[in-house]
């Protein structure tokens, strides 16, 4: 990863400030100085985030017969995290500066990328120790301490009485809920293997270096599919999901060349994965970075939960009577990371007819506001009435805003900056022939359309 800070990346800084200025994303608890790694979504942000999640849900769950959804709890039985391997393995190598006490991820201070690709975790720590010995703290040039493993699970305590409180964990990855519910889903949904369970939900990680805005947070949302298969069909389904997910991401961006698939090196593999590919996005701040992981989890999850809970997850094929523990292909991506990458993909500065404008060239299905309605003049009641009529008609179906401030040019600029695909102006001709001008965000071209045709015109693109 290139070593740019958030502020050094001009594009990211502009997006962060646009998000704050226009009500997409705010720093959490800002009046108290904020809290690192936590963000709130504002009025436009929540619309956009909901649109993104809706698009994923339609693609993954509603379009298919062999996937069903769940919404699991954030706190689960604490044993889940021992069984999942997270208590033991969900760690980052950390090093403290002995002088200024700052803490760093050891693997970001030294180059372990190429020659150490195939090292086991334990060997890697030893290597890091050796390499770190010759390094100094990048901030104060002080001496660095020992490399230590730091667990990323966020702890909480539940219970009423202080001394009988139980230590629990906020889920470090949302997918565990799917394994816990696997059998309940199997028994109630009439699904048979191969089938999948999908979920969108929050996850929490004590990230050492939350950074790059929504890219690495401590509280974030994930979307997961866990697809349960026969062991001998694993390869087929793994390839299937790689292709499906890659083509979906390429479809929702404006610049598909900024999306790629990359295979993990051995030392990058998570403890549960035998094989992994990442779908990556070419960011302005760190080059190619992960967007979604496609993981070959095999029988790791159901076997481990079977062992730790004393439960038999053996599946009997209804046709062949064959018995096996189902294997799993996982596709796991970040909702907030998608939000950020789509903003990076959409953010454009352009000179149109001699005027500078900022445009979010968002896919219309993802844009927070679909249509803005303007009366040409704010002081003509007949124009206002007609425009209100159009506004109310469209509002039944789409997220529409009203604007009668300033001149039309300024209203356009304001909508371009939040990605509104269409602006409608009601003028004096509208009173005579029931038509409006429809101005397209990206081309700025205007067409005249009949009011009665508007719903079907926009539905064709948005439905």
DSSP 403: -
Please, are residues 225 and 330 in contact by the beta-carbon 8 Å criterion?
A: yes
Give least dist CB 417 to ligand ATP, A.
25
Give least dist CB 219 to ligand ATP, A.
8
Q: How many residues does the chain have?
A: 463
Please, are residues 124 and 112 in contact by the beta-carbon 8 Å criterion?
A: yes
In the complex with ligand ATP, the residue whose CB is nearer, 334 or 421, is 334
3-state secondary structure (DSSP) of residue 81: helix
In the complex with ligand ATP, the residue whose CB is nearer, 174 or 390, is 174
In the complex with ligand ATP, the residue whose CB is nearer, 337 or 411, is 337
Structure tokens at 27: 């720093």
Distances (CA, A) of 108 to 105, 127, 387: 6, 13, 56
3-state secondary structure (DSSP) of residue 70: coil
In the complex with ligand ATP, the residue whose CB is nearer, 327 or 374, is 327
Secondary structure E strands in 335-458: 347-352, 355-360, 371-375, 400-402, 422-426, 435-440, 446-450
Q: Pick from 448, 440, 397, 408: which is nearest to 421 by CA? A: 440
In the complex with ligand ATP, the residue whose CB is nearer, 278 or 416, is 278
Structure tokens at 11: 């594009």
Give least dist CB 334 to ligand ATP, A.
3
Place of tokens 């890659």: 246
Give least dist CB 339 to ligand ATP, A.
10
In the complex with ligand ATP, the residue whose CB is nearer, 339 or 347, is 339
Give least dist CB 14 to ligand ATP, A.
21
Give least dist CB 63 to ligand ATP, A.
22
Give least dist CB 161 to ligand ATP, A.
34
Parallel/antiparallel/unpaired status of strands 67-69 and 195-204? parallel
In the complex with ligand ATP, the residue whose CB is nearer, 205 or 304, is 205
Structure tokens at 30: 């800002």
Give least dist CB 338 to ligand ATP, A.
7
The binding site for ligand ATP (CB under 6 A) comprises 173, 205, 207, 216-217, 220, 222, 290-293, 332-334, 336-337
Place of tokens 């694993």: 234
Q: Pick from 421, 459, 457, 461: which is nearest to 442 by CA? A: 421
In the complex with ligand ATP, the residue whose CB is nearer, 180 or 369, is 180
Residue number closest to ligand ATP, CB atom: 334
d(CA 190, CA 170): 31
Give least dist CB 256 to ligand ATP, A.
18
In the complex with ligand ATP, the residue whose CB is nearer, 221 or 403, is 221
Please, are residues 104 and 164 in contact by the beta-carbon 8 Å criterion?
A: no
Structure tokens at 208: 């050492």
Q: Pick from 198, 197, 205, 210: which is nearest to 173 by CA? A: 205
Q: Is the peptide bond before 206 cis (omega within 30 degrees of 0)?
A: no
């Amino acid at each position: 990863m290139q070593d740019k800070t958030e502020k050094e990346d001009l594009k990211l800084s502009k997006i962060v400030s646009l998000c704050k200025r226009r009500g997409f994303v705010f720093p959490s608890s800002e009046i108290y100085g904020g809290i690192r790694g936590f963000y709130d979504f504002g009025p436009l942000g929540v619309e956009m985030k909901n649109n993104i999640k809706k698009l994923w849900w339609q693609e993954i769950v509603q379009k298919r017969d062999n996937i069903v959804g769940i919404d699991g709890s954030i706190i689960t039985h604490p044993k889940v995290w021992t069984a999942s391997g997270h208590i033991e393995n969900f760690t980052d190598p950390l090093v403290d500066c002995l002088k200024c006490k700052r803490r760093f991820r050891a693997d970001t201070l030294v180059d372990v990328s190429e020659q150490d690709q195939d090292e086991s975790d334990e060997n890697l720590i030893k290597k890091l120790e050796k390499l770190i010995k010759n390094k100094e703290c990048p901030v104060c040039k002080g001496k660095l301490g020992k490399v230590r493993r730091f667990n990323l699970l966020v702890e909480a305590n539940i219970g009423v009485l202080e001394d009988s409180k139980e230590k629990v964990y906020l889920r470090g990855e949302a997918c565990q809920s799917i394994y816990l519910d696997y059998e309940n889903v199997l028994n109630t949904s009439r699904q048979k293997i191969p089938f999948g369970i999908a979920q969108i939900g929050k996850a929490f990680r004590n990230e050492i270096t939350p950074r790059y805005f929504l890219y690495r947070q401590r509280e974030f949302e994930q979307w997961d599919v866990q697809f349960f298969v026969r062991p001998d069909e694993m390869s087929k389904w793994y390839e299937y999901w790689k292709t499906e997910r890659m083509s979906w991401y390429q479809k929702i961006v404006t610049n598909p060349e900024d999306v790629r698939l990359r295979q993990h090196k051995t030392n990058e593999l998570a403890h549960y994965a035998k094989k992994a590919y990442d779908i990556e996005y070419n960011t302005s701040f760190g080059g190619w970075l992960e967007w979604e992981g496609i993981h070959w989890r095999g029988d790791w999850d159901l076997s481990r939960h079977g062992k730790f809970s004393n439960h038999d997850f053996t599946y009997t094929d209804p046709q062949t009577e064959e018995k096996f523990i189902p294997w799993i292909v996982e596709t796991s991506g970040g909702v907030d990371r998608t939000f950020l990458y789509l903003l990076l993909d959409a953010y454009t500065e352009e000179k149109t007819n001699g005027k500078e404008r900022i445009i979010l060239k968002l896919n219309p299905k993802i844009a927070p506001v679909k249509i803005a309605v303007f009366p040409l003049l704010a002081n003509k009641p007949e124009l206002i009435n007609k425009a209100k009529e159009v506004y109310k008609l469209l509002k039944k179906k789409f997220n529409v805003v009203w604007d009668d401030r300033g001149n039309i040019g300024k209203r356009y600029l304001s909508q371009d900056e939040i990605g509104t695909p269409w602006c409608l102006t009601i003028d004096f001709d509208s009173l005579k022939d029931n038509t409006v001008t429809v101005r397209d965000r990206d081309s700025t071209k205007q067409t005249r359309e009949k009011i009665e045709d508007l719903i079907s015109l926009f539905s064709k693109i948005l439905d």
